Structure formats: structure tokens, C-alpha cells
Amino acid sequence: MSEGSKLAIGLHNYMSEKNDIFDFQMPDIPEPIQDATQEFKDKDNVGFKFGFIGAGQGGGKLAEAFSQIGYSRVGVINTADQDLETVNVPKKFKFGKQQGAGKDRSVAKSAFADHKEDVVDFIKQSVGTDIDRIFVTVGAGGGTGAGVCSELIKTVREYQQTIKATSPYVGVVLALPKLSEGKKVSLNAYETLKEVCQLVEDKIVSPLIILDNEKINTLYPKLPVSKFWQVANSNISALFHLFNNIVTKSSQHSTFDSNDLRTVLDSGIMVFGMTNVPNLSSEADISKAVRENLKRNVLCGDLDLSSGKIAATVAIADEKTLDSIPQEYLDNAFNQLNRTLQSGSTVHQGVYKGNKEGLSIFTAIAGIATPQEKLDALLKSSQ
């Protein structure tokens, strides 16, 4: 028998005798640390868990307004560190090698493409997975926000599908610049608004909430520079929050519920308005206030409100006022809103008791046609 055969037989006998012993030293491998699930809790009771991802300086400030009002699922992305430093939100992300996009949409779009997966990770950190709908907030005139807007919307949609968010739509809050901000800014806004309106048509975006700073400038002509953007952003965030908060409240009169709000949010282009009714002596006073609300106090100009398909209107008044207003007055005022919209439209109503003296009426109109007049005005300004 060869020496090799003897060695093989000996090894076999050893392994047979020691079959229950495995003497092999393995280094200790630490178990992976499980990430603690981050809990997000909004300040107030709300009907829906919304997240907000702001892009660019204008979009970042919009997202900040929602954070300040109490929403916890908020994050901001930008190509410029100095712009991020001015935004007070818990989650921020700088992407791209450059500092800012210089009003050039293509620069930001290219940087976003290079860092898309990093942005997805940031979205998860910022809003979590227990969510109903994410809103992208953008200033349409800048380079970063306008440049990444469409791709960010599509990325957010993919993320929502992955986590099985309850809504198939991505919300958008789009701030349009004042026409005095220059040709390049107007062109950015024109191209961005046109792209997002197409995403509405493609059933990807809903709602598209348009905040028109030209209209804000008309409503508040004496605002100092230091307060203009704060007032504009707080207006839209406060009105948005009122509807999301009031669906959690009970009413002895008429209730606006979460299903009502969902149908409005799922109906495309949307605009808010509000008015205080100073005189309650007649039915005409309330009806006139509703008309003025629609004509003057909506936060975007050049919209064809008669193309709207669905609306929500909420009346809030103190107990004394509610005791003195005939129900017929409110019904006729709400019916007037119904007549303003296109035929076959729906108006969801709510009447609530509040602490503030007098009557205030809040309106949201959705299903509005693409704002061609606003697009034309931006294009003309860009030329």
C-alpha cells in the first residue's frame, strides 16, 4: 500500500471517529445593527399623513413653512450649501459637486441624475414609510428647483409605489415668480409649469397647488421685502393645513370629512382662497363675500375657475354668529359657488364653530383646466 493510500485511510478513520467534533476557529462576526424605526408625529391631528420634499431655495422655504406649522415629515434638497443653511428644517441634503445651478435648469437636472439613489435614501430618512402622500415643493423660477422638479416627482412616485403609500398621486406645490424677476426666471417658470401640468394630465401629479407670487404681490402690495416670501408661503401652508385638520373635527351643523378632502386632492390643479365676511345683515352680504373670495382672494391669477370640477368650502364662525345666520343664507352662498364651476360639479361643504368672532369662509377648488393664460404670460415675459 502506498504512503498516500495509508494517509487517506488514516484521515478517513480519524474523521469517522471524530465525526461529532468540528474544530475550526471562526472569528466573531458582529450581528448587523437594526436601524431604529423613526417615528414621525405631526403637531396637530390631521386627516392624512403628508410628507414634503422641497427642492431649491424657493421650494426649501415652502417646505419650511409646512414644517413650522407642525408637519414632521419634511426634507429639503439643494445644489448650494449656502441656500440650505437658510432653511430651518431637520433634514437637508446637498447634491452635486457645484454650488448652485445659476438659474440653469440643465445643471441641476444633470446633478440629480448622478445622485438619484442618494436622493431616494434621503426621502426615506425625511418622510419614512408610514405616509399617505408626498408633496414636492418647488420655486419654478430658479435653477435647482425648476431643474429637478419633473425628475424628483417621478422619483417620489416610485418611492411611494415601493412603500405602498395610500395615494397613487404625488402632490406638488409650485410657486410662480413675479414677472418682474427677469426673462430667465420667467422662462424657467414657463417650462416647469408646462411640464408639471403634463404630469397632471398623465395622472402622476395631484393636486398641483399653484402659488402665484404675482397675485400675492397684488393682494399685499405694501409688504416689505423681508416679509413677502414668509407671508406668501405661510398663506398656502395655513390654508392647506386648515382643510387637513378640520376633517378630524366634529360639527353639529355640516361636516367636511376625509373622504371629501381626498376627492378634492385627487382632482388635479387646485387653488385656495379665503375671505372674512364683515357684514352679516343679509343673504346678499354672504353671497357677495363668496364671489369676492373667488374673484380676488384666490392665491393664483389667470386661472379659469369656471373649469373647476370639484370644490370644498368651509364656513367657520363663533357661536353667536352661527345662532344669528339663517341656514338658507349659507346654502345659497354655497350654491352660488356650485354655479360658478362647470356643469355637474360637486361642492363639499362644512360648517364649524370657532373662537374667532364673525364668519370666515375658506375655499378649495380643484379639477381646474391647464392655466394657459398664465403660461402665455410667463412666455411673453421671458421674451
Residue linked to cell 427677469: 182
Give the model's pLDDT for residue 336: 81
Mean pLDDT of 341-347: 89
Is pLDDT above 80 for 353? yes
**Sequential DSSP letters for 63-126:** HHHHHHTT---EEEEES-HHHHHT---S-EEE-SSSS--TT-HHHHHHHHHHTHHHHHHHHHHH
Across all residues in the chain, what is the average pLDDT? Answer: 86
- Tell me: do 85 and 198 sit in the same domain: yes
Structural domain harbouring 287: 271-368
CB atoms within 10 A of CB 328: 9
Give the model's pLDDT for residue 37: 57
The answer as to whether 206 is a domain residue is: yes
Residue type present at position 212 = D
The answer as to whether 383 is a domain residue is: no
Taking alpha carbons only, the member of 106, 238, 81 closest to residue 173 is 238
pLDDT: which is higher, 150 or 177: 150
- Tell me: do 87 and 156 sit in the same domain: yes
Number of domains in the chain: 2
pLDDT per position as a tens digit, 173-198: 999 988 777 898 899 999 999 999 99
- Tell me: do 242 and 282 sit in the same domain: no
Of the listed ranges 26-40, 184-198, 214-228, 307-321, the one predicted with least confidence: 26-40
The answer as to whether 111 is a domain residue is: yes
pLDDT per position as a tens digit, 87-112: 999 999 998 777 766 677 888 888 88
pLDDT: which is higher, 31 or 246: 246
The answer as to whether 223 is a domain residue is: yes
Entry pTM = 0.87
- Who contacts 342 (Cβ-Cβ below 8 Å, separation ≥6)? 306, 307, 308, 309
Give the model's pLDDT for residue 308: 92
Mean pLDDT of 45-52: 96
Task: Measure the N-to-C terminal CA separation of the chain; round to a whole number of Å.
Answer: 99
Which domain-ending residue is among 188, 211, 246? 246
Quick check: 222 and 176 in contact, CB under 8 A? no
pLDDT per position as a tens digit, 287-302: 877 777 776 666 777 7
The answer as to whether 348 is a domain residue is: yes
Give the model's pLDDT for residue 10: 52
The answer as to whether 181 is a domain residue is: yes
Mean pLDDT of 251-255: 89
- Tell me: do 309 and 198 sit in the same domain: no
CATH number, residue 111: 3.40.50.1440
Is pLDDT above 60 for 327? yes
- Tell me: do 282 and 333 sit in the same domain: yes
